[in-house]
Amino acid sequence: MILPLPLPPNYFKCPPLTPAQVDEYLSQAVDNTHELIEKTIIDGGKVSYKMLSDEKHLKIFKGDYPGAPPNATIHLGYMEVMASLDEVIALFDTEATRPKEFCRRFGKGLLDAVHLYTLDVPTADAPYKKTTLTWRAYDSQMPKMIMRRDACQIECHNSFTVEGRRGWVRSHKSIRLECCPNLESVCELIRSKNHGSGHVFLESERPGYLDMFYVTHVDCCEGPSEWFVDKVMRCRRIVLDAIFKKRCRALLDIDVFLREDRLSRLPSVPPRPNATALHRKCSLCCKSLPIIRKRQFCEKCGEAFCSRCVKVWDVRIHGRQERVLACFTCSIQAPETRSLTPGVVSGRSKSGVSRSTARSENETRSTASSRGSKVNAIFVSLGLSRATLARQRRHQDEDNDSFVLVE
């Protein structure tokens, strides 16, 4: 009989870990974060990348990692967004503070998740550091062709600094635990092997921008019912590339979530009196608005926009999820940078932000390659591993390193 998902409570019997095991896992977590950061170096790094897709704001690469199993494909997604590192950290922090909202945003395709162990928690000295052991089950994106997967992983969050620029990493890598056995015969889940995946966020060289990377380096392993895809259709590689490209495109969702969080913090304002008569052009692109068509007003600034410069967003208002109509200008505007007086932003400042928004929405994101060799030189001289972790625990000063692990 196949056990349905989600699994019953306390399904995994997790005995206490010994201090030696905890130290070993913590050391491995640190190594995993360093390895993941290295994988984001597009030019001059360990991974030999070739571009798979060059979209409007997103670039997707496929690479060959030296020494990796032949079935472990590595894909890298990159985009630059107008955001701060603190906004990204706060976004992922909702996993603990608002788990339902986090699951709604990031849990697409997730069938079940079990927290097995907590190895490290945020502290006053290291507020962004966390290490856990987890199990997750994933639905198939092609149910008739590909079986469902699961993974037992070590997950680590940590902050770092590269040449004065702050960064934050969220790494995942497979790990073997006796308390988390293979569930293929129980739940028809194929145990995948994650060779080091996750998100890396780094402050861009342009002030106010953030470089976002997503690495997926996974061996999905072949399921017994997938022989038709592999042997007959001979399209397994094509199918996997499509799946991993879709995962890389999730970076676009992060940009949307960041905008929604900003809009959630902005107060709502009513439209101006006689706004229909006053607004003959879009406040962002200056396109003439049809006379007979009803105006679309941003609920956060009160200005009128054409249909291309405004959209409906899912925002949080007084603890509830609501859908509001807001412009792209307000979606990139931090609450502390705008006046909170009733009405709208002044026309002069509004137009300035509008022009900046138009440029940022249409720029090609291509700054990752230029930093490759420079960052690679930093990591080659790193030497951070278990010995480094031991030195950090003895609180030795490492401020002279180019790469500083923020503890």
As a whole number of angstroms, the longest Cα–Cα distance in the chain is 73
Q: How many residues does the chain have?
A: 407
**CA 351/CA 283 separation, integer angstroms:** 7
The values of phi and psi at residue 369, to 5°, are -65, -35
Structural domains in the chain, CATH included, are 19-259+369-405 (3.30.530.20), 266-362 (3.30.40.10)
**CA 407/CA 399 separation, integer angstroms:** 12
* Residue 153 token pair: 């992983």
**pLDDT value of residue 296:** 86
Check residue 352 and report its DSSP letter. H
**pLDDT value of residue 352:** 42
Dihedral of the alpha carbons of 325, 327, 333, 338, in degrees to the nearest 10:
-80
SS3 label, residue 57: coil
**pLDDT value of residue 227:** 59
* Residue 202 token pair: 């780094």
**pLDDT value of residue 319:** 86
**CA 215/CA 42 separation, integer angstroms:** 11
Contacts of 2 (CB under 8 A, 6+ apart): 186, 187, 188
**pLDDT value of residue 338:** 56
For the chain, which ranges sit under pLDDT 70? Answer: 225-234, 271-278, 335-407
Ranges assigned E (strand) in 186-319: 190-191, 193-194, 197-203, 209-219, 296-297, 304-305, 310-317
**pLDDT value of residue 290:** 81
Check residue 191 and report its DSSP letter. E
